[in-house]
């Protein structure tokens, strides 16, 4: 296991690692933590508890997630775009943890790239990066998304944007050593 710290660790400092995946839905997190007799009151859990659309949104998401594994990209896009409008509306103002929206955009981006619609795919990936610009970004696949975008921008000749995406990917992996970063993503070693 490799563990990266966001700050310097001094001798005697306590190192805390998540007991659970914070990206899983609230009911799953609550169930897992209850085994330790623990009720989480973090900002994410509190927002989920207070969100009146939480259950309905997750129900729609779970249904679509299953659908997306069984159907072709064009069908995924048709159903996913309709769901995307509902999911966007389901979030209350101020909710900065829009995990379901990010996940839906990720799946739609993949479907769009498979149908040759690179423009929409890239647009959705960029939106995922904006949506997940919060503490959960370290648990989400932001580095992978940034690397995909870096490759895309390089292919279009936009090297400045490509470099920005690589820098963002390195930041999300807590990595400032290019040699080490190449081990994670050898496909972009020529860009480093």
For residue 3, tell me if it sits in a domain.
no
d(CA 61, CA 9): 39
Position 6 scores a pLDDT of 64
For residue 108, tell me if it sits in a domain.
yes
Q: Is residue 185 within 8 Å of 168, Cβ to Cβ?
A: no
For residue 94, tell me if it sits in a domain.
yes
pTM above 0.95, yes or no: no
- Number of structural domains found in the chain: 1
pLDDT means over runs of 10, the chain (192 residues):
70 75 87 86 89 93 95 97 96 85 96 96 96 86 93 94 93 86 88 82
Position 62 scores a pLDDT of 94
68: which 2 tokens? 């997306």
Chain mean position to CA 101: 9
Distances (CA, A) of 190 to 4, 66, 122: 25, 37, 21
Position 143 scores a pLDDT of 92
Position 3 scores a pLDDT of 67
Q: What share of the chain is helix, strand, coil (3-state, %, to 5)?
A: 65, 0, 35
Cite the DSSP H helix spans in 69-138: 73-90, 99-114, 118-131
Position 138 scores a pLDDT of 80
Distances (CA, A) of 97 to 26, 49, 135, 155, 164: 12, 13, 9, 32, 24
For residue 104, tell me if it sits in a domain.
yes
Position 103 scores a pLDDT of 94
Residue whose pair of structure tokens reads 């900002």 in the numeric block: 43
For residue 4, tell me if it sits in a domain.
no
d(CA 1, CA 17): 12
For residue 95, tell me if it sits in a domain.
yes
The boundaries of the domain holding residue 112 are 38-117
For residue 134, tell me if it sits in a domain.
no
Position 16 scores a pLDDT of 67
Give me Rg for the CA atoms of the chain.
18
For residue 68, tell me if it sits in a domain.
yes
């Amino acid at each position: 296991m490799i563990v990266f710290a966001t700050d310097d660790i001094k001798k005697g400092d306590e190192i805390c690692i998540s007991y659970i995946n914070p990206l899983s839905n609230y009911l799953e997190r609550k169930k897992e933590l209850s085994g330790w007799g623990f009720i989480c009151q973090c900002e994410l859990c509190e927002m989920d508890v207070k969100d009146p659309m939480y259950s309905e949104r997750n129900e729609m998401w779970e249904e679509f997630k299953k659908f997306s594994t069984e159907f072709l990209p064009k069908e995924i896009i048709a159903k996913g775009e309709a769901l995307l409008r509902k999911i966007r509306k389901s979030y209350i103002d101020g909710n900065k943890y829009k995990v379901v929206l990010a996940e839906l955009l990720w799946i739609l981006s993949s479907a769009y790239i498979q149908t040759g619609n690179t423009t929409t795919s890239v647009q959705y990936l960029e939106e995922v990066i904006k949506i997940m610009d919060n503490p959960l970004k370290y648990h989400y696949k932001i580095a992978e998304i940034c690397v995909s975008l870096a490759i895309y921008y390089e292919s279009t000749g936009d090297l400045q944007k490509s470099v920005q995406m690589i820098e963002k990917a390195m930041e999300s992996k807590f990595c400032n050593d290019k040699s080490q970063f190449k081990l994670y993503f050898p496909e972009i070693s020529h860009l480093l």
